[in-house]
Structure 1
Amino acid sequence: MKRIAAAAGGLALSGAAAVAYAALIEVRWFALRSVDVPVLKPGSAPIKLLHISDLHLMPGQHRKQQWVRSLAELEPDLVVNTGDNISSADSVWPLLDCLDPLLELPGVFVSGSNDYFAPRPKNPVTYLFGPSKGPRASDLEHRRLPTETMDAAFENAGWLNLRNTRGELTVAGQRLEFAGVDDPHLRYDRYADVAGGFTEAADLRIGVTHAPYKRVLNAMSDDDAQLILAGHTHGGQLCVPGYGALITNCDLDRRRVKGLSRWGDAWLHVSAGLGTSPFAPVRFSCRPEATLLTLREAGSPL
């Protein structure tokens, strides 16, 4: 019995240590990932693309704000923001403050559910049984976030709002064409509204979505997008070393929960994001991250 009690005590202590690590250390241990993507036309100059996602910013998260501000020192050519920026109505101005140096650069954005609605408490175990549910109709109004204020600031800075629309930018002397959708997790996406619009004159065709649902990835790939960028998954958020993510919170397979992979003929990059829901502020074996993608000539080694 003493051995059993000692083993149980050891497990309890290990579990408590893991929770403390996930809640106090890793969730604030921000990582910058660097990835090369061989996607540009022969002879093209490289493009540095900064992919940020899922900040879920709350007031008082000063370390996260400072780290995000520091990303401007990378001098990216382009910023792509794949949504879920805030988790509180009081987060808009702290968000704009930390993004201020990045807003001086060319950029595009789409929205996630937490750009529209504040999160609510829920049992995290339910995530193991399928994607999280959208907001309840009964509490939509009082959970509404000041989306329009955030959008206006992004647009006034020159960032393209790609929710169910297209746009183009000239970056590093190259013509980039974009097709984006509103949040597929809320079923706000309407890719049919923008399908078939890429032109032969484009030097690079990019699809942008918050949540990487297969229906959106398939539509973008079928439309000849060469690079697709998404967030939403948090990289699984709680991962098992040697096994990886348990869930993706959408219908994407686990092996593509974060990082670079292929989707049809397109490259797909899914960001593990920089934050968490304020009601589940933990990460384990899945550091919060932003990614600097260096776009290079097709055929270049990874």
Structure 2
Amino acid sequence: MIWWGILALLAAILVYSYWNTFRPVLREVEMTIPHKKGLGEIKILQLSDLHMERLSISPQRLYDLVAPVNPDLIVLTGDYLDRYHNIGKALEYMKTVKSLNPKYGVYLVFGNHDHYLGDRIDEFQQAIESTGCRVLRNESTTFDVEGTRMTIIGVDDHCLGKSDIEQSFANIPEDGIHLVLAHDPNTVLDMRDHHKADYILSGHFHGGQFNLIPFLHRWFGFGGLSKRDILKGLHVVGGRTLYISEGMGQSGLNVRLGSRPEITVHTLRTGAVLRGAPTAVPVVEPLTPAVESGF
């Protein structure tokens, strides 16, 4: 009887965990960048870790969720698929995102799963860019936002050694706002003083995804941040402000426990910061508070 009870409990956990993959959370983060002026305000929609093979949110559902946000800029922070035959499916999401017509465009970086395509990742990039989205692979782009220059620095996947931080930051302007897209948040640990980064957006960890056993992530080789329980939300690491999305899709199994698919809206402003710290305002669930992690 005890074994039947254990099996029933495990079955209930799996059913609940699968149900969670259909329950996205829309989070809002309000970020003031100190000691800089002129930006006014820009609303950035971040999507991460779509994982075509294990994604329970349809393109239409995604559109219905994010269309009311009316973002100025859309960024995607890696891990769209594992397999070549899912490129068409991934492009449907790219087209959906592009149809929102953000004023400043749509920018992407690749994650470790995308690089499982091998040499065909170049073909994937061409297909993405045919939709009007732009992929940044260890490179940057600069444009004007209300009279202030914004530079987006796209760092390729750090987990598989595809990143070139020096190349990514080469020849970027000294002034303006520097927004970094890096799938693997551990990228921040290898950044140096001359790498200008006002705000870093990443994903990769899925918020732990299946948090049945506490602290199991510390031993799964996810890098230095996960060993310090930095898996999601807003943090200050080595003086740099970093946001880690829990992502929309799942890796391995299509289940989530203690984590839900996340869509994030970041509202960036410039000016003074009250109490000297970045602020995060949750819409549905509390966000991880900003903490100084000592790196």
Per the alignment, residue 205 of structure 2 pairs with: 233
Per the alignment, residue 137 of structure 2 pairs with: 163
Per the alignment, residue 97 of structure 1 pairs with: 92
Matches of 1:181 and 1:209, distance apart in 2:
5
What residue identity is the alignment partner of 2:186?
A: Y
Matches of 1:83 and 1:177, distance apart in 2:
19
Contact 1:55 1:85 in 2 (8 A): yes
Contact 2:26 2:265 in 1 (8 A): yes
Matches of 1:271 and 1:224, distance apart in 2:
21
Q: Paired residues, what number?
A: 266
Give the superposition deviation at 1:63.
Answer: 3.5
- 2:20 is aligned with 1:26: yes
Give the superposition deviation at 1:221.
Answer: 5.8
- 2:110 is aligned with 1:116: no
Contact 1:65 1:94 in 2 (8 A): no
Matches of 2:71 and 2:193, distance apart in 1:
25
Q: 2:75 aligns with which of 75, 80, 83?
A: 80
Give the superposition deviation at 1:300.
Answer: 4.5
Matches of 1:34 and 1:169, distance apart in 2:
24
For 1:252-296, what per-residue CA distance to the aligned partner results, in whole angstroms no more than 9, with x for missing partners?
13442111111223210111111112x421110100111111112
Matches of 1:174 and 1:244, distance apart in 2:
43
Per the alignment, residue 53 of structure 2 pairs with: 58
For 1:51-87, what per-residue CA distance to the aligned partner results, in whole angstroms no more than 9, with x for missing partners?
111101139x574322323323321111111111123
Matches of 2:181 and 2:61, distance apart in 1:
24
Per the alignment, residue 41 of structure 2 pairs with: 46
For 1:204-240, what per-residue CA distance to the aligned partner results, in whole angstroms no more than 9, with x for missing partners?
11122111225x4441665231111111111111125
- 2:147 is aligned with 1:152: no
Per the alignment, residue 285 of structure 2 pairs with: none
Q: 2:161 aligns with which of 173, 187, 205?
A: 187
Per the alignment, residue 232 of structure 2 pairs with: 258
Per the alignment, residue 177 of structure 1 pairs with: 151
Matches of 2:119 and 2:84, distance apart in 1:
5
Contact 1:48 1:76 in 2 (8 A): yes
Matches of 2:184 and 2:146, distance apart in 1:
28
Give the superposition deviation at 1:31.
Answer: 1.4
Contact 1:115 1:145 in 2 (8 A): no
Of structures 1 and 2, the larger Rg is shown by 1
Q: Please, which runs of 5 or more residues in structure 1 have no aligned partner?
A: 118-142
Per the alignment, residue 129 of structure 1 pairs with: none
Matches of 1:172 and 1:9, distance apart in 2:
63
SS in 1 for 2:88: helix
- 2:279 is aligned with 1:280: no
Matches of 1:293 and 1:176, distance apart in 2:
15
What residue identity is the alignment partner of 2:260?
A: R
RMSD, aligned CA: 2.7
SS in 1 for 2:86: helix
Q: Percent identity?
A: 29
Matches of 1:73 and 1:157, distance apart in 2:
22
> In 2 relative to 1, CA 291–172 (structure 1 residues): closer, same or farther, beyond 3 Å?
farther
SS in 2 for 1:200: coil
Contact 2:59 2:96 in 1 (8 A): no
> In 2 relative to 1, CA 220–158 (structure 1 residues): closer, same or farther, beyond 3 Å?
farther
**TM-score, with length taken from structure 2:** 0.79
Matches of 1:31 and 1:220, distance apart in 2:
33
Contact 2:139 2:169 in 1 (8 A): no
Contact 2:21 2:255 in 1 (8 A): yes
Matches of 1:98 and 1:286, distance apart in 2:
22
For 1:23-58, what per-residue CA distance to the aligned partner results, in whole angstroms no more than 9, with x for missing partners?
2x0122111111111116345321111111110113
